[in-house]
Amino acid sequence: MKMKKSGMLGQLFFAGLIGLSLPRAGAQTLEKMQWFNEPQTWSIEGNVLCMKVTPHSDYWRISHYGFTVDDAPFYFARYGGEFEAKVKISGDYRTRFDQAGLMIRIDCENYIKAGIEFVDGKFNLSTVVTHRTSDWSVIPLERPVPFVWIKAVRRLDAVEIFYSFDDETYVLMRNAWIEDNRPVEVGLMAACPDGEGFDVRFEQFRVKHLPDLRRLEWLDKNQ
C-alpha cells in the first residue's frame, strides 16, 4: 500500500523535529537535570552551569561538629548501575569552607561529595563520605589552581574519586563504599557554610555508562 505524499512529508517533518531536539552524541543534557536546593541565581549556556552559591549552606551529618545540614545547591540526574562521571570546576572561592564538586547521593544519610575546598586560605582537594555520620579527608595543594577536574567511577559497591589538572593524568584521592545495586543521584554540588556566597562554574559534565562487571563475568562464562 502506498502512503500519500502529504502523509510522508508530515512524517519526515516530525522526524526532523525530533532529530533537532536530540542532544549531541556524548554531551550531557544539563537542561533535563533537576535541582535539590535550587540557588537564587544560576544559568546554563551550552554545557556550562554557573551559579551563585547559596550563603550559609552545606552538607554534613553529626560527627565532630554535632550538627546536621542538608541545604546546599545540588543539580543532578538519577542513574542506576555502574558509571563514570566527571566535570571541570572553577570558582571564586573566598571564605573558609567554600567548596564545589561532584556529589553521588542516595539520600540525606548516604552520599559522597568530592571536589575543591578553600580552608584557612589554601586550596584543598576534599572528600566527604557520609553513611549516617560524615567523615572528611583533604589533600592540601601547594598553590591556588584555576580549575580542577574531578572524576568518580562507580563499580560494584565502591566509588573511586580521582582529580586532574589537565583532564589527562588522573590521581586517585579516595576509594569509598556505597550501597550496591541502588539508584543514585549524580551531579554538581557547591556549598558556602561560612560566607555570603560565591560564583562557581561547572564545565563539560558527563556521565558515561559502564557495563555491569557481574554481567560481563557471566557472559564470559556462558558464551
Give the DSSP per-residue string, 172-189: EEEEEE--TT--EEEEEE
d(CA 146, CA 23): 29
Cβ pair 150, 115 in contact under 8 A = yes
CA-CA-CA-CA torsion sign (145, 102, 41, 110): negative
- Average model confidence (pLDDT) across the chain: 90
Mean pLDDT of 136-162: 97
What is the helix (H) or strand (E) element at residue 14, kind and residue range?
Answer: helix 5-21
Q: In the structure, what pLDDT confidence band is assigned to residue 114 with cuts at 50, 70 and 90? A: very high
- Grid coordinates representing 183? 539508584
Instruction: Look up the pTM and report it.
Output: 0.87
Q: What is the mean pLDDT of residues 46-72?
A: 97
Please check whether residue 99 is in contact with residue 69, taking contact to mean a CB–CB distance below 8 angstroms: no
Average confidence (pLDDT) over 90-116:
98
- Is residue 28 over pLDDT 80? no
Structural domains in the chain? 40-211 (2.60.120.200)
Q: Which pLDDT value is given to residue 27?
A: 53
More confident call, 131 vs 3? 131
> Residue 33, CB half-sphere, CA atoms under 13 Å: how many?
27
Identify residue 104 by its one-letter amino acid code. I
Residue from 103, 77, 101 nearest 159 by CA:
103
For residues 160 and 171, give the distance between their C-alpha atoms in angstroms, rounded to a whole number: 10
State which amino acid sits at residue 18. Answer: I
Residue 2, pLDDT > 80, answer no
Look at residue 204 in the predicted model and tell me its pLDDT: 96
- Whole-number pLDDT of residue 29: 80
Strand residues in 92-178 grouped as ranges (E): 98-107, 110-119, 122-131, 133-140, 148-155, 158-164, 171-177
- Using an 8 Å Cβ cutoff, are 159 and 148 in contact? no
Evaluate if residue 75 carries a pLDDT over 90.
Answer: yes
Judged against a pLDDT cut of 50, whether residue 20 lies above it is answered with no
Q: Name the DSSP class of 136.
A: E
Higher confidence at residue 113 or residue 47?
113
